[in-house]
Amino acid sequence: MAQLPQTENLSIDGPAGKLQAILESPRDEQPAGIVVICHPHPVHGGTMQNKVVHTLSRAFTHQDFLALRFNFRGVGESAGAFDEGEGEFLDTLAAIEWSRRQAPDLPLWVAGFSFGAAMSVRAAVEASPAGLVSVAPAASRFAASLQSQPQCPWLILQGDQDEQVDLAETIDWLNQLAPGPELQVFPGVDHFFHGRLVMLRNAVENFIEANQ
């Protein structure tokens, strides 16, 4: 059984002040990469402790990645206030910049859930990561006007019973992208992947392993 990752509580510089963050590291292996993971909508209770965000972190650390989770501005101990997605996009770029300074020789991936997935998609267009994982991306609301699309291996995962991000909207958005990302749809799964987090983690791990 794999050991739990080492956990370090951090405070990193963001555009609106300090951002509260957690860095998880594999205990037994040299890191194979580093990932920045973005949490759901701050106004609706989203934090870096969200269980889907936590599952993403564990998927990456199990594949020997360093995993950085952070709270957007105004969440937890992060400075600032909610900024309708524009400031949160800048927070994501700041977390990516911090991660690249910490691990300049490692491939950097970006991941996110719901609102955080949309922020990470927008950031990936600008930051050109080595890979991108988007869980139930609220992209039609928060990343609909992309000037281009991420040019990296990209996985989108969503349940067909998602009550917050309509699957048909996601598919319509994806159909505007060429070439589009890989889409995995989980039958009978809701927005928060209740009871299906192990399945989600396995799918993410398989994608990482296939694209390292």
pLDDT tens digits in sequence order for the chain, 212 residues long: 567 899 999 999 999 999 999 999 998 879 999 999 999 999 999 999 999 999 999 999 999 999 999 999 999 999 999 999 999 999 999 999 999 999 999 999 999 999 999 999 999 999 999 999 999 998 877 776 777 889 999 999 999 999 999 999 999 888 888 788 999 999 999 999 999 999 999 999 999 999 99
Cα separation, 65 vs 25, in Å, equals 7
CA angle (129 as vertex; 124, 133 as ends), nearest 5: 70
What's the pLDDT at 2? 61
Does pTM surpass 0.75?
A: yes
Backbone angles phi, psi at 64, to 5 degrees: 70, 30
What's the pLDDT at 15? 98
What's the pLDDT at 204? 98
CATH topology of domain 6-211: Rossmann fold (3.40.50)
What's the pLDDT at 153? 97
Do 135 and 56 form a contact (C-beta atoms < 8 A)?
Answer: yes
AA identity, residue 91: D
What's the pLDDT at 108? 98
Q: Using CB atoms within 10 Å of the CB of residue 143, give its burial: 0 to 12 exposed, 13 to 18 middle, 19+ buried.
A: buried
Strand partners, 20: 11
What's the pLDDT at 1? 52
CA angle (109 as vertex; 107, 110 as ends), nearest 5: 160
